[in-house]
Chains A and B, each alone.
Chain A
Amino acid sequence: MSDTILDVKNLRVEFNTRGGIVPVLDNLSFSLDRGERIGFVGESGCGKSMTALALMGLLPSIGRVASGQILFKGQDIVNASTKRMQDIRGNEISMIFQEPMTSLNPVFTIGSQIAEVLHRHRNMDKSEALKTAVDLLDAVKIPDARNRIASYPHQMSGGQRQRVMIAIALACEPEILIADEPTTALDVTVQAEIFDLLRDIGVQTNTAMILITHDMGAVRQMAQRMLVMYAGRKVEEGTVDQIIKSPRHPYTKGLISCVPHIRKGADRLPNTLPEIDGIVPDITSFGKDQCLFAPRCERLTQQCLDRKPDHQMIGKAEQQSVSCWHPYGRQT
């Protein structure tokens, strides 16, 4: 259909912890087309953010890519030089972070921080970069942009700061924008605005987006495809509509049933809101050859504890795939 811009193949990222080497990302594969928006869903500590950092080449010092490939425009960037990665970051692949309150440098004006990226990657001189910065602030809908470029981060609200972060990320018209829980720190009304903005910009500029979140509602609003992660592994992948309509993995099903109203037609609130019992396993058990969700799963059998389930296609037209020994709705 459309051309693939990012192709991650069997990516394995290991952390060298005190308890030994553990895979925080285990055999992760996915691809992203130009202009496509994909959502990464899962609880905290499931490897969503690590995926983003691995793509940016910004893994913490205890982590490394052990095997697998990250093909960006057909080129493997796992072993790319530092200089090449610095040229990619902020230019071809950009990222926005969870904490807009602390993601801007407090001692510089926001104008100069936007201009800095343009200067770095586009070789613009100062006045030209500032002029572009005003346009960018306009584009992310910050009122009175001309005067606001002289503001310091502490003079802006969280939502405005996140808009500035988006402006910085989009300054060089990247091909991929990674948004790592961009609205977690913001209040609900602002969340919706930021998501609208991101989606509109994605559509307008045909920027591919990776949205990392644990908010199913946001994924449904934002993304075309989604990928559910659990304990460093991909457990389910498919189009958003398909997965929300019929989740195959018990974990996905649990996540969806935690959110009232997410399915069309479900207009009555249930009396009790279901939750998934238990917590994500400790990082030291990540590499085990079993289904890591098994201890929390209602469909648990001996098979789940004996071997790790393979990732398999399900349904017609390869719209959905799942890693589970006993997925729901096998008949369809």
Chain B
Amino acid sequence: MATSKKSLQTLAQDRESLALVTARHPALEVFSMFIANRAALVAMVVLMAIILAAIIGPMVYKTDPFEMVWAPFTPPGTEGFILGTDYLGRDLLAGLLHGGRVSITIGLVAALMSVFIGISFGAFAGYYRGYVEEVLMRITEFFQVLPTLLFSMVIVALFGASLQMITIAIGLVSWTAVARITRGEFLRIRELEYVTASRSAGATDLKLIFQVILPNALPPIIVQAALMVGSAILFEAGLAFLGLSDPNVVSWGQIIGSNRLYILDASYTVTVPGLAIFITVLAISLIGDGLNDALNPKLRSR
């Protein structure tokens, strides 16, 4: 008798622990899916290392990236310069570390900006339909058909090549994808039963948009946002390569742009920042992919 009682007790305990295990936050589930993806995990580690280097690097390695510290075109690994010097004798390692800050910041801020604009347009268009949708989506299409590079060059040329303007220019040309994705998700989700149920419980329009539909629409938006950070970094590099960069700060693209004339004589001056961009964007893409797999319920194993 005593043993059976004991086992009942442990059974009850088991049930309780079972309940605790099943009641996991969905974000945790997504996280465990994400880290199960090798490529995404490696990419995450690499990106973290790059971000850390960009944050801590300039504090530790105090050389000014604009200062001419040695003879031009010192090859990497000689004279104590790990990555060598560029055509003006500036330390490339310092440029890389400082430039990382700028490039990644531009990528993040521009992506945030386009997510913000895109969600606002897409959410209201998808929720309200009718005239609101017509107007908002025509505006979106207007931005979509503009040649992006040309449009951002015009903005930078008109308002000056400052860091802020370049970021705004990139954000302004890349939000349309988010708007379309958000609208699509809203069109789908607004017809679902739980939205009607919330409405029948007295939810207001704004509550439905931001607290009921948006949280459910987020997964593809998050993936798109992650990928957008990468493309914004590339975009900045492209602008800088064309000479449209803030002359007061170093960025990876700017290093490539300013050394492009010597691409044959001193190829390392463009290869090094080019590799930095390549690795960063690749890592971000892989993370975006991993997020996509983790957030997509169809691929998620229960």
Does B201 sit at the interface, judged by CB under 8 A? Answer: yes
Contact B216 A106 (CB under 8 A): yes
Task: Let me know if A147 and B19 touch, CB within 8 A.
Answer: yes
- A116–B23 Cα distance when bound, in Å, is 20
Q: How far is the CA of A181 from the CA of B194 in the complex (A)?
A: 16
Q: How far is the CA of A97 from the CA of B192 in the complex (A)?
A: 12
Contact with A along B165-194 (1 / 0, CB 8 A): 000000000000000000000000000111
- Taking the closest CB of chain B, its distance from the CB of A158, in whole angstroms, is 13
User: 8 Å CB contacts to B: which residues of A142-201?
Assistant: 144, 147, 150-152, 155, 165, 168-169
B199 near A89 (CB under 8 angstroms)? yes
Instruction: Please indicate the chain A residues that have their CB under 8 angstroms from the CB of B200 in the complex.
Output: 56, 58, 89-90, 94-95, 97
Q: With the chains together, A6 CA to B198 CA distance in Å?
A: 23
Task: Give the distance in Å from the alpha carbon of A103 to the alpha carbon of B198 in the complex.
Answer: 8
Q: Collect the chain B residues with CB atoms within 8 Å of residue A106's CB.
A: 194, 216
The residue that B194 contacts in the complex, of A58, A104, A150, with Cβ under 8 A, is A104
A-contacting residues, B1-40, CB 8 Å? 16, 19-20, 22-23, 26
Say yes or no for B147: interface residue by CB 8 A criterion: no
191-207 of chain B: CB within 8 A of chain A: 192-194, 196-204, 207
Question: Which residues on the B side are within 8 Å of A62 (C-beta)?
Answer: none
Q: Can you list, as one digit per residue, whether each of A20-39 has a CB less than 8 Å from chain B (1) or not (0)?
A: 00000000000000000000
User: How distant is the Cα of A102 from the Cα of B194 in the complex, in angstroms?
Assistant: 6
Q: What 1/0 flags go to B29-55 for Cβ under 8 Å of A?
A: 000000000000000000000000000
A-facing residues in B205-248 (Cβ within 8 Å): 207, 212, 215-216
Contact with B along A121-158 (1 / 0, CB 8 A): 10000000000000000000000100100111001000
- Contact across chains for A147 and B23 when beta carbons are under 8 A apart: yes
The total of chain A residues at the interface (CB under 8 A) is 34
Q: In the complex, which residues of chain A have a beta carbon less than 8 angstroms from the beta carbon of B216?
A: 105-107
| Residue in chain B with minimal CB distance to A108 | B215
Q: In the complex the two chains form, is A97's CB within 8 Å of B196's CB?
A: yes
Q: Which of A102, A121, A152 contacts B193 (CB 8 A)?
A: A102
Do A107 and B26 form a contact, CB below 8 Å, given A86-B202, A86-B203, A168-B201?
yes
Given contacts A86-B203, A102-B192, contact A152 B197 (CB under 8 A): no
Given contacts A86-B202, A120-B202, A121-B202, contact A99 B193 (CB under 8 A): yes
Return B228 CB to nearest CB of chain A, in Å: 23
A120–B203 CB distance below 8 A: yes
Nearest CB on B from A178, distance (A): 8
Given known A105-B216, A107-B215, A152-B26, contact A86–B198 (CB-CB < 8 A) = no
Known: A107-B216, A147-B23, A151-B23. A58 touches B202 (CB 8 A): no
> Which residues on the A side are within 8 Å of B204 (C-beta)?
86
B201 contacts which of A120, A150, A151 (Cβ < 8 Å)?
A: A120
Is A91 positioned at the interface, with any CB of B under 8 Å from its CB? yes
Residues in A with CB closer than 8 Å to B212 are 105
Give how many B residues have a beta carbon under 8 Å from the other chain's beta carbons: 23
Which applies to chain B's interface (DSSP): helix, strand, loop or mixed? helix
| Inter-chain contact B197/A58, CB cutoff 8 Å | no
Nearest-CB distance from B204 to chain A (Å)? 6
* C-alpha gap A95/B212 in the complex (Å): 18
- Asked if A71 is an interface residue, CB under 8 A from chain B, the answer is no
Q: Which of A95-120 contact B (CB under 8 A)?
A: 95, 97-99, 102-108, 116-117, 120
Taken together as a complex, chains A and B put the C-alpha atoms of A2 and B16 apart, in Å, by 48
| Cross-chain contact of B202 among A90, A97, A147 (Cβ < 8 A) | A90
How far apart are the CA atoms of A90 and B194 in the complex, in Å? Answer: 14
Q: Considering the chains assembled together, what is the distance between the CA atoms of A151 and B215 in angstroms?
A: 17
Residues of A within 8 A of B199 (CB): 58, 89
Q: Is the CB of A117 within 8 A of B202?
A: yes
Chain B residues within 8 Å of A103, by CB: 193-194, 196-197
Q: How far is the CA of A58 from the CA of B23 in the complex (A)?
A: 34
For residue B37, give the distance in angstroms from its CB to the closest CB of chain A: 22
Minimal Cβ-Cβ distance residue in B for A93: B200
Say yes or no: A150 contacts B196, CB within 8 Å: no
* CB neighbours of A56 from chain B (8 A): 200
User: Is A97 touching B201 in the complex (CB atoms < 8 A)?
Assistant: no
Query: How far is A144 from B207 in the complex, measured between Cα atoms in Å?
Result: 30
Bound: A64/B165 CA distance, A: 50
Which A residues are CB-close (under 8 A) to B203? 86, 90, 120
B201 to A90, Cβ gap below 8 A? yes
- Whether B202 and A89, one on each chain, are in contact in the complex, defined by CB atoms closer than 8 angstroms, is yes
Chain A residues within 8 Å of B207, by CB: 120
How far is B201's CA from A91's CA once the two chains are assembled, in angstroms?
7
Closest chain-B Cβ to A300's Cβ sits at a distance in Å of: 39
Question: What residues on B are CB-neighbors of A99 within 8 Å?
Answer: 193
A275 within 8 A of B: no
Of listed B22, B192, B199, B212, residue having the most chain A CB within 10 A: B199
User: Taking CB as reference atom, which chain A residue is nearest B195?
Assistant: A105
Q: Tell me, in angstroms, the Cα distance from A98 to B193 when the chains sit together.
A: 9
Tell me the minimal C-beta distance from A166 to chain B in angstroms: 12
Q: Which of B19, B194, B199, B207 has the most CB of A within 10 A?
A: B194
List of 7 A-B pairs having minimum Cβ-Cβ separation, nearest first: A90-B201, A90-B202, A89-B202, A102-B193, A95-B200, A103-B197, A103-B193
Which residues of B are at the interface with A, using a C-beta cutoff of 8 A?
16, 19-20, 22-23, 26, 129, 192-194, 196-204, 207, 212, 215-216
Residues of chain A at the chain B interface (Cβ within 8 Å):
56, 58, 61, 86-91, 94-95, 97-99, 102-108, 116-117, 120-121, 144, 147, 150-152, 155, 165, 168-169
- Give 19 CB contacts A-B under 8 Å: A61-B129, A86-B202, A86-B203, A86-B204, A89-B201, A89-B202, A94-B201, A97-B197, A102-B193, A107-B216, A116-B201, A117-B201, A117-B202, A120-B203, A120-B207, A147-B20, A150-B23, A151-B23, A165-B197
